[in-house]
Amino acid sequence: MLVLEKRAERSALIAVASPLIAIVLTLVTIAILFALLGKDPLFALKVYFLDPLNDPYSLQEITVKATPLVLIGVGLSFCYLANAWNIGAEGQFLIGAVCGSWLAVVTHGTEAGPWVMPAMLLFGAAGGALYALIPALCRVKFGASEILVSLMLVYVAELILDYLVRGPWRDPKGMNFPTTAEFDSVATVPILIEGSRVHLGALIALIVVAGAWLLLSRTIKGFEIRLVGVASKAARFSGFSSDRLILFTFAVSGALAGMAGIIEVAGPVGHLQPGISPGYGFTAIIVAFLGRLHPVGILIAGLFLALTFIGGEMAQITLKVPLDLTKVFQGILLFYVLACDSLIAYRLRLIRTQRKVAHEVANGPA
Amino acid sequence: MGLLEAIILAVLAASTPLLLAAAGELVTERAGVLNLGVEGMMIMGAACGFAGAYFTGSTIVGAVCGILAGVGMSAVFAWLTLGLAVNQVAAGLALTILGVGMSGLIGAGFVGERITAVPQLWLPVLTDLPFVGRILFGQNALVYGSIALVIGIWYFLYRTRAGLVLRAVGDNHASAHALGYPVLTIRTFAVLFGGACAGLGGAYLPLAYTPFFISGMTAGRGWIALALVVFASWMPGRLVAGAYLFGAVTILQLHAQGAGFGIPSQLMTALPYLATILVLIVISRTRGTIGSAAPASLGLVFVPDR
């Protein structure tokens, strides 16, 4: 039978190769799934993963979709490195969108200057951070599971957003649709490249990636985060407080998720409405793991997962497969990533069970 | 039928899927495994349960399909966390993401389709008793089944040797291993049992609660079931109380919305989730006085030395 055996040293080769192995395994599985759905697997994979790369519009869309994934993913990696389990980024994303939108709604139709957009980003980040601090405080002060609390708050955030756009913030000229009025131009994120959909958010995401890399590799705080994750006892002896670190990592990841939320609303969407996120907050969990919790890895992983969103939409149109296939794909990918990561610290070994050994001792090898 | 009777009937109906899923997770966690994929297993149970009942016209086949779906999902989880020593939190999240996606894929073919709901018990005389008749003798089989399941679990955990071993594995896997108990095998069975219960709890939704399938119909019930296990302090008896309390919150907020007190409906809909958070805080604070501690090995990776 197959058993796990701890490696003497972590395998550096597999550490680099594991995300790639996971992607290949996922592609094989997806191909089989396509075949089961009665589609030509190779053609389907081409539609899903290659066609978006050959189409300028899709390439822009990939950067647009990757922006929130990378922002949230970087924040989540801080939490996961420190063994703090924030799985409510989706909620923090929505609350960030709500808090930033508040400014857009109250300044709508006024002579407000160009300070509005930066202030909105600040509000979004602050809102997301405060919302993320709720589960962190519940954990630190009361010992309540931050996993469950942060997830419950996702549902609450959806309802808060829903209430606002159906009630007080609804656009009176919006034909009764649950949406705010289109944001004024001072309240929108500027386009980066003229004539495209690539907006300032993409640049912000790149800056965040660089900042996160600096923080993790060049500062004491970064060392603390990594140390608490791998050796919590040693961290405690060196005087690092794990409670403070939980609050810190939750606040950072909440702020980044909240900023991603307001960037999405003030950028590609242009107004606040329900359904602004196709599950970015959850997909970003996969992004964080696929990127092996490293900022640069997360950047690449974010682009790849964005590709699956675009490919999924293309496949829905061209191949007539349900959009949910994208989620299946993402779930399978996370499974393979986790399984392959396990092989960094362990190796699989085939051993003979004792019964078989006893049998062979008695009767000679089979 | 009086309003109170109607409310109690509705509470029983709404609590049953929570109770089924939470009972399974309780056994899984007692063996030391934290499976956060309950939501994914439930929604797969709902999709497959509906599919089974739709194609065969039999709710029993539907329930079996739901159970098998839950077992299948949990087998993947067991293979990852027990076979490959993957972090249980991450693997549970993966299971939920996968389950939500797969159920959408399966359910896409059933939009707008209906099935016949599970019949309710009807006993001459007894069911006709005023007030208590419908409540005690007029439920569907799954409502009684869920209570029997919890009693069975209580008996197993506290009155059998196998239950004692299972609890030992959850409290100290190293010692249990040293004593010669097959830790990983026992945990695998506990995970599969949890999956079966979650699958059945999910299947309950289209089979007995609303006779159709819509994607995302579990609406966070899997996560609430996880919170219920904490609420119950890992004890089966308290699980029943917790599940009915949550069912009551769900139903009361619906009635309050119907009555319309001028409170935003979204606030009412948020009540079960807010109540969950509140309960987690209160229970976690009082742990050690009224609550018992979590199984000591809960969520920890175990790779046996050879």
What pLDDT, in 10s, does the model give residues B121-175? Answer: 666 666 677 766 666 666 778 888 899 999 999 999 999 999 999 999 999 998 9
Chain A nearest CA to B174, separation (Å): 16
Chain A nearest CA to B173, separation (Å): 17
Lowest average pLDDT, out of B19-33, B123-137, B184-198, goes to B123-137
Interface list for A 268-307 with B (CB within 8 A):
282, 285-286, 289
Angle at B57 between CA B209 and CA B110, to 5 degrees: 65
User: Which position has the token pair 């005087």?
Assistant: A239
Inter-chain CB proximity A156 and B274 less than 8 Å: yes
- pLDDT given at position A161: 95
Q: Is the pLDDT of residue B300 over 90?
A: no
For A55-81, give one letter per residue: b (16+ CB within 10 A) or e: eeebbbbbbbbbbbbbbbbbbbbbbbb
> Side chain identity at A284, as an amino acid letter?
A
- pLDDT given at position A100: 95
B235 shares contact with chain A (CB less than 8 Å): no
A223 shares contact with chain B (CB less than 8 Å): no
The dihedral over CA atoms of B283, B286, B290, B293, expressed in degrees to the nearest 10, equals: 80
The span from the CA of B21 to the CA of B45, in Å, is: 11
In a domain? residue A106: yes
Q: Residue A361 — pLDDT band, cuts 50, 70, 90?
A: low
What 8-state DSSP symbol labels residue B109? G
Q: Residue A354 — pLDDT band, cuts 50, 70, 90?
A: low
Closest Cα partner for B33 from B222, B186, B257?
B186
Q: Is the pLDDT of residue A353 over 80?
A: no
Around Cβ A28, how many Cβ atoms within 10 Å? 13
CA distances from A139 to A122, A243, B60, B284 (A): 26, 9, 42, 9
In a domain? residue A94: yes
Q: In degrees rounded to 5, what are phi and psi of residue A310?
A: -65, -45
CB B42 within 8 A of CB B226: no
CB A243 within 8 A of CB A140: yes
- pLDDT given at position A214: 94
A153, A156, A335 ranked by CB distance to B80: nearest: A335
Interface list for B 87-106 with A (CB within 8 A):
87, 89-91, 93-95, 97-105
B301 shares contact with chain A (CB less than 8 Å): no
In a domain? residue A59: no
In a domain? residue B136: yes
The mean pLDDT of chain A is: 88
Residues A110-137 have a mean pLDDT of 93
- pLDDT given at position B164: 94
In a domain? residue A100: yes
Q: Residue B299 — pLDDT band, cuts 50, 70, 90?
A: confident
Inter-chain CB proximity B85 and A143 less than 8 Å: no
Closest Cα partner for B190 from B232, B243, B153?
B153
Range of the domain at B197: 3-285
Dump pLDDT digits (tens) for B100-111.
989 988 888 787
CA distances from B82 to A213, A286, B37, B111, B191 (A): 33, 21, 15, 37, 10
Inter-chain CB proximity B97 and A147 less than 8 Å: no
CB A306 within 8 A of CB A65: yes
Where is pLDDT greater, at A240 or B100? B100
Where is pLDDT greater, at B179 or A176? B179
> Which tokens belong to B209?
């609660």
- The ipTM estimated for the assembled molecules is 0.86
Total structural domains in chain A?
1
A149, A166, A346 ranked by CB distance to B280: nearest: A149
The span from the CA of B195 to the CA of B35, in Å, is: 9
Inter-chain CB proximity A331 and B273 less than 8 Å: no
Within 8 A of B274 by CB-CB distance, chain A residues are 152, 156
A327 shares contact with chain B (CB less than 8 Å): yes
CB A120 within 8 A of CB A262: yes
The span from the CA of A21 to the CA of A28, in Å, is: 11
- Between chain A and chain B, the number of residue pairs with CB atoms below 8 A apart is 145
Q: Quote the strand ranges of chain A, DSSP E.
A: 2-6, 346-350
In a domain? residue B91: yes
Q: Is the pLDDT of residue B182 over 80?
A: yes
Lowest average pLDDT, out of A238-242, B88-92, B117-121, B294-298, goes to B117-121
A102 shares contact with chain B (CB less than 8 Å): no
Q: Residue A302 — pLDDT band, cuts 50, 70, 90?
A: very high
Q: Residue B72 — pLDDT band, cuts 50, 70, 90?
A: very high
In a domain? residue B253: yes
In a domain? residue B213: yes
In a domain? residue B297: no
In a domain? residue A142: yes
- pLDDT given at position B12: 87
In a domain? residue B296: no
Where is pLDDT greater, at B32 or A3? B32
Q: What is the CATH number of the domain that holds B72?
A: 1.10.3470
Closest Cα partner for B170 from B303, B37, B302, B287?
B302
Lowest average pLDDT, out of A292-301, B40-49, B296-305, goes to B296-305
Inter-chain CB proximity B230 and A145 less than 8 Å: yes
Q: Which residues, other chains included, contact A298 with Cβ-Cβ below 8 Å and sequence gap of 6+? A: A70, A73, A74, A77, A209, A287, A288, A291
Within 8 A of A325 by CB-CB distance, chain B residues are 101, 105
User: Which position has the token pair 């675009």?
Assistant: A310
Length of chain B counted residue by residue: 306
Within 8 A of B105 by CB-CB distance, chain A residues are 322, 324-325, 328
- pLDDT given at position A358: 62
Three-class SS of residue B126?
coil
Dump pLDDT digits (tens) for B255-293.
877 776 777 888 888 888 998 899 888 888 776 555 567
In a domain? residue A338: no
Where is pLDDT greater, at A152 or B210? A152
- pLDDT given at position A206: 96
B84 shares contact with chain A (CB less than 8 Å): yes
Tell me the DSSP string of A245-266: HHHHHHHHHHHHHHHHHHHHII
Dump pLDDT digits (tens) for A314-324.
888 888 888 88
Q: Residue B77 — pLDDT band, cuts 50, 70, 90?
A: very high
Q: Is the pLDDT of residue A70 over 60?
A: yes
CB B216 within 8 A of CB B108: no
> Side chain identity at B280, as an amino acid letter?
L
B119-126 contacts: CB < 8 A, separation 24 or more?
none
* CA-derived radius of gyration, chain A: 23
Total structural domains in chain B?
1
The mean pLDDT of chain B is: 87
The span from the CA of A75 to the CA of A310, in Å, is: 23
In a domain? residue A343: no
A138, A162, A329 ranked by CB distance to B281: nearest: A138
Percent of chain B with pLDDT over 90: 43
Closest Cα partner for A300 from A228, A224, A213?
A213
- pLDDT given at position B122: 67
Residues A207-235 have a mean pLDDT of 87
Scanning every residue of chain A, which has its alpha carbon at the shortest distance from the alpha carbon of B216?
A: A324
Range of the domain at A192: 67-300
No. of H helices and E strands in chain B? 12, 0
Dump pLDDT digits (tens) for B214-248.
888 888 899 999 989 988 889 998 999 999 988 88
In a domain? residue A61: no
The span from the CA of B53 to the CA of B43, in Å, is: 15
- pLDDT given at position B63: 93
A98 shares contact with chain B (CB less than 8 Å): no
Lowest average pLDDT, out of B2-6, B33-37, B191-195, goes to B2-6
The span from the CA of A188 to the CA of A266, in Å, is: 5
